[in-house]
Amino acid sequence: MPSSNNKHHLEDYAPIVTSGVIREIEELARLLGPVRIVHVNSTKEGGGVAEILGWFIPIIEELGMKVDWEVITGEKDFFTITKKFHNALHGQPEEFTEEMFAAYLDNVGKNAPKIPEDADFVVIHDPQPAAMIGEYPDRKNRWAWRCHIDLSEADLRVWGFLRPFVERYDGAVFHLPQYTKNLMAPQFIVPPAIDPLAPKNEKLSEEEVSSTLHKLGVANDKRIILQVARFDRLKGPFGAIEAFRLVRRWYDCCLILAGGSATDDPESQAVLAEVQDMAGDDPDIHILNLPPDSHREINALQRAATVVVQNSRREGFGLTVTEAMWKAKPVVGTDIGGIRHQIIHGVSGFLTHSVEGLAYRIRQLFGNPGMAKRFGQQAREYVRNNLLVPHHIRRWLLVFHSLRQSGNGDLITLPPHEITE
Ligand code: UDP
């Protein structure tokens, strides 16, 4: 379940973000008019894509547009193949057969949601439904492929297979400039964002934080190292346990690995079992397998943490890093992908290259509470200025304007003032 069950209005964000952003959004929306937008992804629960669409859609609707959210369906085999695609696009070695590519296309063809003819824009997320565009050779609307993956080391076979589909889109939208590819289609940069007013990120009382920890079986009597992530090898849960064991030689502390699974990830149960196995019966390692609607619980855990870690091997962006930074936590994360983009090393957190480095930086923060506090405050300001709902909406509206301009459709005039980032 996305975390935006509490619907908020655009105006509610005005006191949080830099003045002017809300006005720009309203102007861009007015110029775009009452367009219809269809989003297609592969799950409504779990992971960053579902998280973002949960708050993105109500606000776009409030701005006068119509939005549909469709999900591509498939049997477990389909999601096993697309998970391999996902891993391979992140640069992990995976084995593929011709049959897998054929089965993927077959399922996309059979289960592709029907896109209404009057949709003005179609946004297809990630590889799972990417080939859907092949089903619409005579489309009149504008299609964007929204990629949430770090493609910088993408496996050539899978990328070579997907690329001809991607090039049929009117644009491809990436999180970061370093993820863009040499493509025939125009490319746009839209980093993700978090909703500061959602249950995942809103302010919580100290009582609620304490009672949530108690409910989850975590005694609030020692320093807490926290990693929030789906149980996925690429999230580095094993290295987080190793680092914790190194830190514990110096400081009394506990480790919380809080996660769950996404419905499009068939591997998560096996990874969870391996993580539990590695943790053994250590009372200071808490493996929390949370249901997908545990937004307030994750919020409380992030607020209770002394240091938040994100030991990912690959990371398209890492919304969990943004969430922790917004809660003024110092984050120690791997020097990769979107983590590198968010943490300013030595200013708002630390970037690391090994388990030993991770342990060293956690110890450094444990030993310097003043530094930890300063990092946290700087982290929060970075998010306030760059990675909140209004920033994301504004960037997408600009993409829709550009997409519309790119074809033979009506030309629109951008607002006279400069759009500043
Ligand atoms: N998340 C969650 N429950 C979990 C694990 C993650 O609600 O058990 C949320 C997390 O708070 C974040 C998103 O899912 O909002 C994960 O996004 P991220 O970009 O960190 O990673 P992804 O799962 O998309 O690879």
Closest CA to ligand 1's atom 17: 48
Closest CA to 295 of 194, 222, 206: 194
Q: How far is the CA of 74 from the centre of ligand 1 (A)?
A: 22
CA 100/CA 175 separation, integer angstroms: 28
Q: Please list the residues that pair with 388 across neighbouring strands.
A: 194
Assign 369 to helix, strand or coil.
Answer: helix
What confidence category does residue 407 fall into, taking pLDDT thresholds of 50, 70 and 90? low
Domain ranges for the chain, please list them. 10-193+388-405, 206-386
What confidence category does residue 420 fall into, taking pLDDT thresholds of 50, 70 and 90? very low
What is the pLDDT at residue 7? 76
CA 182 to the chain's CA centroid: 24
Task: Please say whether the structural domain 10-193+388-405 has been given the CATH code 3.40.50.2000.
Answer: yes
pLDDT (tens digit per residue) in 49-71? 898 999 999 999 999 999 999 99
Torsion sign (Cα): 218, 220, 224, 227: positive
Q: Please list the residues that pair with 310 across neighbouring strands.
A: 333
Range from 16-20, 156-160, 408-412 that averages highest in pLDDT: 156-160
Of residues 416 and 229, more confidently modeled = 229
What is the pLDDT at residue 340? 95
Name the CATH architecture for the domain at 206-386.
3-Layer(aba) Sandwich (3.40)
Helix (H) or strand (E) holding 288: strand 285-289
Assign 89 to helix, strand or coil.
Answer: helix
Hunting for tokens 């492929």 — which residue is that?
A: 145
CA 265/CA 50 separation, integer angstroms: 13
DSSP, res 318: -
Q: What are phi and psi of 389, to 5 degrees?
A: -40, -50
pLDDT (tens digit per residue) in 323-356? 999 999 999 999 999 999 999 999 999 999 999 9
What is the pLDDT at residue 1? 44
What confidence category does residue 262 fall into, taking pLDDT thresholds of 50, 70 and 90? low
Instruction: Give the pocket of ligand 1 (CB within 6 Å).
Output: 47-48, 51, 200, 228-230, 259-260, 290, 298, 317-320, 323
What the block records as the tokens of 238 is: 């094993």
Which of 49, 228, 314 best tests ligand 1's pocket when mutated (most atoms within 8 Å of CB)?
228
